[in-house]
Amino acid sequence: MVLEVALIDIIPGSEGAFAAAYKSAHPILAGTPGCRSVRMTRGVESPSRFVLLVEWESVEAHLENFRNSERFPQWRDRIGEFFAKPPLVEHYLDVPAGTHSDAGHIIPE
């Protein structure tokens, strides 16, 4: 599983309109093959900053099934007008938690 993290800065004053546009755009992203979950959060200290968290089966699922498909322009057409600048998008892998042995080494779960 790969976590896509997108930092999205919205034009100040358009947060409500962006949130409404996201509601209509959500099914486009969430229905993409290889997409496991989608979550949008809004900054407390920076209310014009949103963070999109998407779990994908792989980076390839994101790139091939969404970014390089007709879904991406549909998504951007609904929410892109609110962007103050292009989103910063990166992919992350989970770091496994472990238990400590008596020797102080981490034992993989």
Total structural domains within the chain: 1
Mean pLDDT computed over 22-30 = 97
Give residue 98's pLDDT: 76
Is position 104 within any domain?
no
Residue 46: inside a domain: yes
Q: Which amino acid is at 57?
A: E
Q: What is the pLDDT of residue 108?
A: 54
pTM of this structure: 0.85
Beta-carbon contacts of residue 86 (< 8 Å; ≥ 6 apart): none
CATH number at residue 12: 3.30.70.100
What residues make up the domain containing 41? 2-94
In a domain, 82, yes or no: yes
85 is a domain residue? yes
Contacts of residue 79, defined as CB under 8 A and 6 or more positions apart, other chains included, come to 18, 21, 22, 25
